[in-house]
Amino acid sequence: MDKLYNMICENNEEVVVRANKRGYVAAEDKKLELRLGPPGGEDRQSLLSLGCCNNNNNNNNIPHEAKRVCHEEKKEERKWLANSSSSDPAASASELTNSAAAPDSDQKSRIVHAPVVGWPPIRSSRKNLAIRSSSSSFTNPAADSESPNETSKEGNGKSDSSTYSKHHMFVKINMEGVPIGRKINLKAYDSYEKLSFAIYELFQGLLAAQRVCCDVEKEDKKGETKSKTESLHGNGEYTLLYEDNEGDRMLVGDVPWNMFASTAKRLRVLKSSQPSTLQLSSGQHEKTPLDSTVEVGI
Amino acid sequence: MVEDPSIPSSSSSQMSEDDDRSPSLDLIDGPIPSTKSRNCSGVSVSGGGTSVEYTVPYPDQVLENVLENVLCFLTSRRDRSAASLVCKSWYRAEALTRSELFIGNCYAVSPRRATARFTRVLAVTIKGKPRFADFNLMPANWGAHLAPWVSSMAKAYPWLEKLCLKRMSVTDDDLALLAESFAGFKELVLVCCDGFGTSGLAVVVSKCRQLRVLDLTETEVMDDEVDWICCFPESQTFLESLMFDCVECHINFEALEKLVARSPSLKKLRLNRHVSIGQLYRLMVRAPQLTHLGTGSFNLSEGMAQGDQELDYVSAFAACKSLVCLSGFREILLDYIPAIFPVCSNLTSLNLSYANITAEQLKPVISQCHKLQSFWVLDSICDEGLKAVAATCKELHELRVFPVNAQEDAEGPVSEVGLEAISEGCRKLRSILYFCQRMTNAAVIAMSKNCSELVVFRLCIMGRRRPDHVTGEPMDEGFGAIVMNCKKLTRLAVSGLLTDRAFSYIGKYGKLVRTLSVAFAGDSDLGLKYVLEGCHKLQKLEIRDSPFGDTALCSGLHHYYNMRFLWMSSCSLTRQGCWAIARELPRLVVEVMKSNEGEEEGDNFDTLYMYRSLEGPRDDIPQFVEILRPGI
């Protein structure tokens, strides 16, 4: 990527370029064009002529998702145009061109675009409709062969196409006896000790307000104790559980951190006196039991 | 202007500003103009909330009382603002009589300042994040926290009755504080909010015994596994409106059924997709007085097959003689469509935007909807379906066509054909949102001529920078015709291939445009310049991925204080350009942010978001936001 900028600067001294890895080329010279091929040098380019348009200064949009889609491109071509470029150079050569080339806009061999963040501007609750809303009937089951009751796609698709999920993995955490849960970002930690301490801090205020005795204060969840499990449980007052992506309840600390962090869907802090009543079963049963009673005998 | 507060999101009368007359500045800053009132020791008061004491003789007092009584009838924000600027006495009287407070940008003014000026407020509306946040263009935790507002209001407005929030971050703790603080709380409306869960809802519904309205629209609610429906008071409730169609969690249906049974005033009920049609039936039978209904899944519950029950859905609908607004159909089972026939001819609003149905499936319904004013639908109905709409719905004011397949390269079932048909048939159209894959200037021009009442025109050609697919020309002329011919236009969203010419049209003719949304458009700085120099009423400008740079940004210096905000992401701005603005306009908060956290520090940024504010830089910025402050 740096080569590109060097190239721009070297080639035209009059060009004032302020560019950096994710920045913008604010060149002031006209008609500066560069083309880049795909990474690896394969020539899979197809030139789209833009001559027919009035617009000679077509922008080439580089989506923010460039890094993510870097290796997913199908065809690409990139034009750098001065004084109108708003490209994000970080997106190497994986870029899509704008299919707005006039005469080609109806061509059947469409360029396949990698998704751009936030485009088209549809709220996440409306996405995935092709799957979820497949209307069906008794006589003509949904062509998509997806059951209308498919619940695998959750509506909160905000994290679907977002890079934020790289850095965020918020899971709910409830503490027994505290009606209001919290959220905690698992990706902010890299070890059970840190997580444990963070949880302690999270609920500390609530515990302080709630507790009668001072036992909890003596808990040192900073992990002075020997084993990971012990440190989580401090002096045994609380048990930390989590629910994984299959809905099973597990004890935190049994698996390597990375595995835990990638499969944990929610956390629960229980008083240790309760292990015998724990239901290490599918999370479904933990919910308010309405599914089982509803619909019977309608 | 038709309003349907029950259609979600921006057409709600509370939240939509496309037809309001709000003034550009809600709250002024600085010393109040003092009058030379006779015996008044006119003390200038800033917004800081110090009380003014002075003796007023009888005649002035009378005048003030009269004024207060008259001002009670002023509801428009613009009128109130104008009244408050007349003189100090009017300012004070207006402040005392304003019962509805509208905060268009939660960071433009502090809770302290707002509550200090307006002391007798019953209803508050607060808007937070900019709209592009809905599309993942802004990382989470940007801000718009309700917390400082609710804690100020808890002290200042203990008699608060109504709170409407849009794009705010609301926590369970906020809701708990709300529930504790406002004994007479009646209405909670949350549009596009997030940050809380069912436990927060539980606290609200259990403690706010006077609750009439609980409307959640396009709001994310976390599943805390709390049965909030059970938390409503056991006795009869005052519920008039309960909308939770966006809530993704399962609910306790038995509890809901009992709740509906003991809510005689219930008029609006929107169920989420976990409510089956059988359950819907039971609710409808208990609440035939409903005017607004969101049907939930409109499908059988999981595991049930047809024939297990054959309820008389048609009768249930027929019994709802007051039903005017129908939505839901989240997982529609086509066989049940005829159930709604009895109500079609009364409907003024129909939302099928989650129902993937064809034109043939739509026709039997729409052909009966003669009174329809608002229609939301998926493009699965194709141009043919739109023709059917145009043929029947002569009273249509608002149309929204959403894509089933929201991708750039999908096949486009709707096109200029549908748009043109609508323009021919629905001459009273005022608001349109249309997603398509291809369009022509001719169709847009036709709409501009046929639908002269248009106030909102939002066309989203999903392929970026697509030209007129017949002529190959940019879409300049089409949008130009819209701003030229639609004299009442206040909101515009453009798309497709657009040159600077399009923007010159907008600047020249779009004199009433208040909200403009631009993406992947324009050639050069000129485009933005045209808009900033020409659109005198512009208040909200959101731009992404367009080649506008610092020069263009500077061309709006004369206008930025009149605007609520400017958003520019992935454009050609530089830090220097933004600094120039920040230096020139100290009352503007200039935020620059990166969309990816974890990037190294540097000169680059992705997004500029700037807005006028009385408060200066906010103190709750997350790590990825930087506020450009000229050195003191």
The answer to the question of residue B75 being in a domain is yes
Give pLDDT, residue A131.
56
| B233 located within any domain | no
Residue type for A205, please? G
- Could you give the ipTM of this predicted complex? 0.85
pLDDT of res. B562: 96
User: pLDDT tens across B395-424, in order?
Assistant: 999 999 999 988 887 778 999 999 999 999
Q: A121 or A114: which carries more pLDDT confidence?
A: A121
Residue B333, in any domain of the structure: no
Is the whole model's pTM more than 0.90, yes or no? no
How many CB atoms neighbour CB B223 within 10 A?
A: 18
- pLDDT grade, residue B150 (50/70/90)? very high
In the structure, what pLDDT confidence band is assigned to residue A70 with cuts at 50, 70 and 90? very low
Q: Which residues form the domain of B72?
A: 61-94
Q: How confident is the model at residue B506 (pLDDT cuts 50, 70, 90)?
A: very high
Contact state of A113 with B334 under an 8 Å Cβ cutoff: no
- pLDDT (tens digit, 9 = 90+) per residue, A170-195? 787 888 777 667 777 787 787 888 88
What is the per-residue pLDDT for B531? Answer: 98
Q: Among partner residues B303, B519, B604, which is closest to A22 by beta-carbon distance?
A: B604
**Tens digit of each residue's pLDDT (9 = 90 or more) over A209-219:** 555 444 443 44
**Would you state the pLDDT for residue A194?**
83
Do residues B562 and B24 lie in contact, with contact meaning Cβ atoms separated by under 8 Å? yes
**Best of A53, A84, A104 to disrupt the B interface by mutation (most B CBs within 10 Å)?**
A84
Domain range annotation of chain A: 170-213+236-271
- The DSSP string of chain A is -HHHHHHHHHH-TT------TT------SSS---EE--TT----------TTSS--S------TTHHHHTT--SS--EE--TTT----TTSTT-PPPPTT-GGGTT-SSPPPPPPBTTBS---GGGTTHHHHTB-B-SSS--TT---TT--SS-S-GGGTT-THHHH--EEEEEETT-SS-EEEEGGG-SSHHHHHHHHHHHHHHHHHHH-SSSHHHH--TTT-SSSHHHHHHTTTTEEEEEEETTSBEEETTSS-HHHHHHHEEEEEEEETT-GGG---SBGGGGS-TTTTTTTTT-
B260 versus A28: the higher-pLDDT residue is: B260
Cβ <8 Å between B572 and A86:
yes
- Test mutation, A113, A119, A203, chain B, max B CBs within 10 A: A119
Asked if the structure places residue B485 within a domain, the reply is no
- CATH of residue B66's domain is 1.20.1280.50
Binned at pLDDT 50, 70 and 90, residue A206 comes out as low
Which pLDDT band, with edges at 50, 70 and 90, does A168 fall under? low
Q: What is the pLDDT of residue A201?
A: 74
Distance CA B456, CA B175 (A): 34
- pLDDT, one tens digit per residue, over A217-269 is 344 443 333 344 434 444 456 788 888 877 788 888 888 888 888 888 888 88
User: How does the average pLDDT of chain A come out, rounded?
Assistant: 53
Task: Out of A136-150, A246-260, B23-37, pick the least confident.
Answer: B23-37
Interchain proximity B604–A26, CB inside 8 Å: no
Calculate the average pLDDT of chain B: 90
Does B308 or B380 have the greater pLDDT score? B380
CB–CB contact B330 A290 (8 Å):
no
Out of B28-42, B176-190, B208-222, pick the least confident.
Answer: B28-42
B470 interface with A at CB cutoff 8 Å: no
Q: Please report whether residue B294 resides in a domain.
A: no
Report how far apart, in Å, the C-alpha atoms of A61 and of each of A81, A97, A200, B546, B573 are: 11, 8, 45, 8, 15
Asked if pLDDT for residue A280 goes beyond 50, the answer is no
| Domain contains B84 | yes
Q: Output the pLDDT for position B282.
A: 96
Which residues numbered 86-125 in A keep a CB inside 8 Å of some CB on B?
86, 88, 98-100, 102-103, 105-106, 110-113, 115-125
The answer to the question of residue B76 being in a domain is yes
R_g of chain B computed on alpha carbons: 26
Q: What is the pLDDT of residue A55?
A: 37
Is there a domain that residue B320 lies in? no
For residue A91, pLDDT over 70 is answered with no
Mean pLDDT on A54-66? 39
Q: Which pLDDT band, with edges at 50, 70 and 90, does B310 fall under?
A: confident
Confidence check: pLDDT of B306 > 70: no
**pLDDT bucket at A116, cuts 50 / 70 / 90:** confident
Mean local confidence (pLDDT), B491-507: 98
Give whichever of A112-116, A260-264, B22-26 has the largest mean pLDDT.
Answer: A260-264
- The domain defined by A170-213+236-271 carries CATH number 3.10.20.90: yes
